[in-house]
Amino acid sequence: MMPRRLLAILAALFLGYLGVGLLVILWMTGPKRKAPWATPASVGLGYEHVEVPSTDGIRLRSWWVPAEDSSRAVVLVPGWGGYKFEDHLLQTLLVYHDAGYNVLMLDLRAQGESKGTRRTLGYREVRDVRGALAWLRSRGYAPDQTVLHGWSMGGATVLRAAPGSGVAAVVEEAGYGDLPLLLRRKLPEFVRFGRLLEPAILLLGKLYPDFDYEGVMPQKEAAMLSEGGVPLLIIHSLDDGVVPYEQARLLAAAYPDASVWTLESYGHVEAYEHPEYAQRLLGFLSSIR
């Protein structure tokens, strides 16, 4: 029989191993708050501060940039640890505004200026996007005149939120179609000793209350959008070091008729720096009118 002391040591090591995994989960899902360093006024546009409630009651600090005499709207959704005031959102705001869209820019739950205690890699954030659509509907903006546009985790989130919503189209940039696969591929890079800690992290991530990373499979929702004929634009760089291009392939395979723009030599969510960015986005938008 194994000595009790050895059993106690092994039990302590196992609990310690799980404890470190839990700390990683808490780090990955913890809030990331920051005050804006820029606003729509930084790119020459007037705007309003608005508060958008998610469908589970989280108050999302947002910006509303109106367009004169337009019934069209777009919701811009940042990624994991991202903010509504980052350059890629503000520059994309200009493209939509010039095209006559009213623009709603969100800080997702537990990010930027929004309330909330946990980020969930696209699981609970679906409620934020659905809350944004409800907010727009309450102000007379119909879903079939609304576009969802997200980056990275925001791209995964708008894909998950779109089926059944009646939206006009979806644009996703540098998003993922299979979160479990992404975590298995990238944890060794994101977390020190990530390969060793991977089993604990993934186990505790699955057991974490109201968070199931295995449920974040936007390729399934992409297939639903394909069946429903909702236009989808996928933008991804072959040189994305955060979300590998294989994730774009998964989404494109799920939606064979999606518009896909593949870039080279651009990093994560850097497509807006490409000289053809506005032209490509406007071309897609013109095709859905």
Chain-centre distance of CA 54, in angstroms? 15
Q: What is the rounded CA–CA span in Å between residue 145 and residue 135?
A: 14
> DSSP 3-state assignment of 177?
coil
pLDDT tens string 202-245: 666 666 667 787 889 999 999 999 999 999 999 999 999 999 99
Backbone CA torsion sign across 260, 262, 263, 266: positive
H-only helix segments in 118-217: 125-138, 153-161, 179-190, 194-207
**The pair of three-digit structure tokens given for residue 180, joined into one six-digit string:** 């479990």
Amino acid, single-letter form, for residue 188: P
Domains belonging to the chain, first-starting first, are 1-30+182-216 (no CATH), 35-178+218-287 (3.40.50.1820)
Per the listing, tokens 């705001």 go with 93
For residue 75, list its beta bridge partners.
Answer: 104, 148
Closest among 98, 128, 95 to 114, alpha carbons compared: 128
Q: Which helix H or strand E contains 10, and what residues bound it?
A: helix 4-29
Backbone CA torsion sign across 158, 164, 167, 171: positive
> DSSP 3-state assignment of 108?
coil
pLDDT in tens, the chain (289 residues): 457 776 766 656 556 655 666 666 666 777 899 999 999 999 999 999 999 999 999 999 999 999 989 999 999 999 998 999 999 999 999 999 999 999 999 999 999 999 999 999 999 999 999 999 999 999 999 999 999 999 999 999 999 999 999 999 999 999 999 998 998 877 666 665 556 556 656 666 666 667 787 889 999 999 999 999 999 999 999 999 999 999 999 999 999 999 999 999 999 999 999 999 999 999 999 998 6
Q: Phi and psi dihedrals of 242, rounded to 5?
A: -105, -55
Q: Phi and psi dihedrals of 65, rounded to 5?
A: -115, 100
Distances (CA, A) of 208 to 80, 100, 123: 18, 42, 12
pLDDT tens string 98-123: 999 999 999 999 999 999 999 999 99
Give 172: exposed, middle or buried? Use CB within 10 Å, 0-12, 13-18, 19+. Answer: buried
Closest among 109, 95, 100, 82 to 40, alpha carbons compared: 95
pTM comes to 0.90
